[in-house]
Amino acid sequence: AQTVTQSQPEMSVQEAETVTLSCTYDTSENNYYLFWYKQPPSRQMILVIRQEAYKQQNATENRFSVNFQKAAKSFSLKISDSQLGDTAMYFCAFMKHARTPGNTGKLIFGQGTTLQVKP
């Protein structure tokens, strides 16, 4: 079974600074997807960034980038130039690859990291 672990329950960062959120996972699959979701106080789940395991290149979306280390089963999220609106809970999630037999597309989430951006 797959597991996702986020070992930092809470983090804080000064506005305009850079912060990195950690995520590790465990799987026997060779191909899969990894995601970061943001959950602001409104509790809406917003997709931040997506990584396919077979792609060597780390995904980037504007100020958000990941450091994907497949051998170490690590998937950290870097937020550059932090903004007050980045204050939220961040969840790392795993999904089996589309072509995995029997895959239903369910997401397995970590426990979440609460990020506070301070002015």
Partner 1 sequence: EPEVTQTPSHQVTQMGQEVILRCVPISNHLYFYWYRQILGQKVEFLVSFYNNEISEKSEIFDDQFSVERPDGSNFTLKIRSTKLEDSAMYFCASLDGISYEQYFGPGTRLTVT
Binding site residues, partner 1, CB under 8 A? 33, 35, 37, 42-47, 50, 91, 93, 95, 97-98, 104-112
**Dihedral sign, Cα of residue 97, residue 103, residue 105, residue 110:** negative
Instruction: Report the distance separating Cα 53 and Cα 85, nearest Å.
Output: 29
Q: Which is nearer to partner 1, 7 or 14 (CB)?
A: 7
Of the candidates 46, 58, 60, 57, the one whose C-alpha atom is nearest the C-alpha of residue 91 is 46
Q: Which is nearer to partner 1, 19 or 89 (CB)?
A: 89
> Exposed (0-12), middle (13-18) or buried (19+): which is 85, by Cβ within 10 Å?
exposed
Residue 95 CB, nearest distance to partner 1 (Å)?
7
Residue 16 CB, nearest distance to partner 1 (Å)?
28
Within 10 angstroms of residue 61's Cβ, the number of other Cβ atoms is 12
Residue 34 CB, nearest distance to partner 1 (Å)?
11
Q: Which is nearer to partner 1, 50 or 70 (CB)?
A: 50
Residue 37 CB, nearest distance to partner 1 (Å)?
8
Q: Which is nearer to partner 1, 64 or 109 (CB)?
A: 109
